[in-house]
Amino acid sequence: MVRLKCIINYDGSQFSGFQIQPKKRTVQGALETALTKMHKGEYIRIQASGRTDTGVHAKGQTIHFDSAYDIPLYNWKQALNTLLPNDLYVKEVEYADDSFHARYDVIEKEYRYYVWHESEPDVFKRNYAYYFPYELDIRSIQAACDYLEGTHDFTTFSSAKATTKGTKERTLYQVSCEKKGSEIEFIFRGSGFLYNMVRIIVGVLLDIGQGRRQPADIMDLLAKRDRRLVGETVPSEGLYLWNVRYDEKR
């Protein structure tokens, strides 16, 4: 038995999210169908670094699974990509330690969020960035990003529906915002993220960019730990699970 770790990409626009659901097209469903076919009907269960919602994309989602097959890594990659639909791609396959776990061993995740910041929408961007035509003060947003970095209780910035037990304290190593041509790129690197956390934070950052709040309000919002104080979750099409890091020593 070997444990395999894979880095996968997917265009989330045609998937009903990551997690398997009856009669829905999901990333987990597509991966397990391909693996089960490769294993002649034996059900192969995968574990991912975490779920992603409907419409959310991934550049560096990471999964693991166990197999009795002893085949070269390159052939694993080839075989899987041949069986997968073309909006899901296995970028890397490697052997992992038997104790490796794609979810429990995460030490850092990076998410990015893209905003299409033009006066008119672009049909080619509709599934890949959030169309936001209003004026924004990027410097204010950047100032607010600085307040978000560090270790905080992010209750205010997580879905009220969240089922997470235990602490809502997380550490953000990087929160940044940059205008790149017609797009605005937000980068979030952190120890972990609560449900909807990136999309709720981006909503608040866009409020700040419009002058509806001040950058320093972030401190107050964090301290109050109340989801009702902030606005709507921005749409899923702008969100990308960009990278997942594990302890290299393992």
CB of 175 to its own copies, least distance (A): 24
The closest of 69, 48, 101, 93 to 250, measured between CA atoms, is 101
Q: Which of 65, 111, 128, 147 binds its own copies (CB under 8 A)?
A: 128
Residue 127 or 171: which CB sits closer to its own copies? 127
CA 28 to CA 47: how far, in whole Å?
Answer: 9
Q: Which of 43, 74, 124, 134 binds its own copies (CB under 8 A)?
A: 124
CB of 131 to its own copies, least distance (A): 9
Pairing of strands 106-116, 130-131: parallel
Q: Which helix (H) or strand (E) holds 147?
A: helix 138-148
Residue 9 found at the interface with its own copies (CB under 8 A): yes
Q: Which of 70, 72, 86, 134 binds its own copies (CB under 8 A)?
A: 86
Q: Is residue 111 marked as binding?
A: yes
Pairing of strands 183-190, 169-180: antiparallel
User: Considering Cα of 234, then 228, then 108, then 145, what sign does the dihedral take?
Assistant: positive
Cα–Cα distances in Å, from 162 out to 49, 167, 187, 194?
A: 17, 12, 22, 8
Q: Which of 37, 91, 139, 212 binds its own copies (CB under 8 A)?
A: 91
CA 12 to CA 97: how far, in whole Å?
Answer: 29
Q: Which of 88, 115, 204, 244 binds its own copies (CB under 8 A)?
A: 88
| Residue 173: count of CB within 10 angstroms of its CB | 12
Alpha helices in 210-242 (DSSP H): 217-224
Q: Which stretch binds its own copies (CB under 8 A): 33-41, 81-89, 155-163, 178-186?
A: 81-89
- Residues marked active site are found at 53
Residue 13 or 176: which CB sits closer to its own copies? 13
Residue 239 found at the interface with its own copies (CB under 8 A): no
Q: Which stretch binds its own copies (CB under 8 A): 46-54, 106-114, 120-128, 184-192?
A: 120-128
Q: Binding site for substrate: residue ranges? A: 111
Task: List interacting residues with its own copies (CB under 8 A).
Answer: 9-11, 57, 86-89, 91, 120-124, 126, 128
